Structure formats: C-alpha cells, structure tokens
Amino acid sequence: MTVPSPDYRDPRLTEQRNPRTQRIDVASSLEIVDLINGEDATVAPAVHAVRADVARAIDLVVDAFRRGGRLVYVGAGTSGRLGVLDASECPPTFGTPPEMVVGVIAGGYPALVKSSEGAEDDVNAGMEAMDQARVAAHDFVLGIAASGTTPFVRAALSRAQTIGATTGLVSCSDPPQVLRATCDVLVLPKVGPEALTGSTRLKAGTATKLVLNTISTGAMVRLGRAYGNLMVDLKAVSDKLRDRGERIVMECCGVDRGAARAAIAAADGSVKLAIVMVRKGTGRAEAERALAAAGGFVRRAVGDPPPVA
C-alpha cells in the first residue's frame, strides 16, 4: 500500500476528505444518490448555526440601501455565479433597479457560462473589479469564497475596505486572519468535507445559495418590498408574473380579476400601488402619498393583509 506524503493534507475544511463517501467510486447510482443526499441533509443545520451572522448581514445591507448604497457580491467560479444569480433575480422579484444589487465574478461575463478558474488567482483583477464597479463608501461588498482563501475575492475586499465600504464574507471554511480582522461580518456555515473532495459546487454551493437567498430576501422585506409574504413589488414582465400580480391584488382587495387588472393598469403597472388604491378607495396620487408616508410599506398604509386560506 502506498504511503502518502505527510504534507498532502490541506487545512481548509472544504479540501478535506469525507470518510463517509470514500467508496463512492464503487457505489451504484442509487447509493450515490443516497450518499450525496445524506451530505445535503447537513447543510440547513449548518446555515442555521450561523443565523445571527446572517441577520447581521441583512442589517448591513439595509443600512447600505438606506444611505443610497448598493449590495455588491464578488466571487469566483461557483461562488461568483451564485452571487450574479442572486443579483439578477432581485429586479423581477422585488422591482429593484438593476444597479441596486450587483454581482461581480472573476473573469467577467464569459466566466458565467464557461469555466475560468485561473481568474480567481488574479489579485490585480480583484482590485480593478471594485474600481470598475464604482464601489463607494456607502456600499456593502459581500465576498463569496467557499474555501475562504480566493485571492481575487481577498483583493476585492481589501480594495473595498480601502475605499471605505462595509464588507463581509460568506465562506464554508475559516478565512485568513486578515479577513477575520477586517470584515464587518463573517457568515461561515461549516458544512464539512464534500462528497467529492474539494467540489464546492456541492454542499458549500448549496449553503451559499441558502445564505444569499436569505440575505437579499431579508433585506428587501425589511425595506417594505413585501406585504405579508406577497411579492407586491414584482415586475410583471411575463405572463406568469402578470398573472401573479393580478392574483395578489385579488387576494388583498377581495376583487375579481377584471377589477384587479384595471387597478394595476391605473397604477401604471404597480401592484403595490394598486392595492393601496383599491383598499383605501382613492386615486393614484393620494395612494402614492399614503405609501410615501408609510415608508413604502403597504401594511402601514392599509393594515394587515388577508389571512392565508
């Protein structure tokens, strides 16, 4: 039996071997499914264990938005793609302008659809990416690095901190001391070694997706971009979303589809404004004033939403 060199072990949690899957290469298809599913079952508890840090990140995002800043995700590989994905889903879900939540990935747009793994080592590109994104002191830059050591992300965070931006890091392994000392928040769900050693698109990727979902959704809810658990700021840019918008108005206001559609049209496509108009029995201008006075929160403007049936 070959004896491995004593220096083959990597201290990063995401690079360690998983004893539970060491014979995955001789497993049947169903056994592989069970092995991977068993590992996936540990992800949600790991995210729950860092719930206070996720909440802290939500507060920092809200603070940035309220001072006119942005949420800027920065990552490489799978981590970068997850950041871009979350950013790209905010406008249709919450009606935000595209520049409010931004995703930066090492290697730029081509890296979204084709592997560009070498880009993660370019520290100069990491710093330049923050300048190209026009990061400012009122922004919150959230680095995403499964291993915690990605040079592109470390350099980007360093540059953002020099500019004066608030910074944070999402990682599934302990980051270098310099990041622990300088970031305003660390979200470190320890999901443990992957089913396939080092393949952080697995558990680490799932944990990252859960964390980013929670941060962006939590921040938008805190800003009044939901009424109860309804997406009242959605952009009706497809038949599905137009139908959802009409059903939201029908449910919140107790009207039929025709009335809901007419109200949304009178509100120039705004589901939120249509709800206030119908619930308060007012025209658009008065509803806009009521919403403004309520800080954009429908609940404050019209009261509790209808209960879930």
Architecture of domain 239-302: Orthogonal Bundle (1.10)
**Span 227-260, pLDDT tens digits:** 999 999 988 778 998 999 999 999 999 999 999 9
Q: What is the dihedral of CA 157, 163, 164, 167, to 10 degrees?
A: -20
Q: What pLDDT does 2 receive?
A: 60
What are the residue ranges spanned by the domains of the chain? 44-222, 239-302
Please identify which of the residues 39, 120, 194, 246 carries the catalytic annotation: 120
Sign of CA dihedral 127, 133, 136, 142: negative
The pLDDT value given to residue 4: 58
Q: Out of 15, 31, 39, 89, which one is annotated catalytic?
A: 89
CATH number for the domain formed by residue range(s) 44-222? 3.40.50.10490
- Pairing state of beta strands 71-75 and 140-144? parallel
288 burial via Cβ count (<10 Å: 0-12, 13-18, 19+): middle
Question: Tens of pLDDT along 182-240?
Answer: 999 999 999 999 989 989 999 999 999 999 999 999 999 999 999 999 999 988 778 99
| Mean pLDDT of all residues belonging to the chain | 93
89 is catalytic: yes
Question: What are the angstrom distances between the C-alpha of 35 and each of 25, 139, 201, 207?
Answer: 11, 41, 16, 17
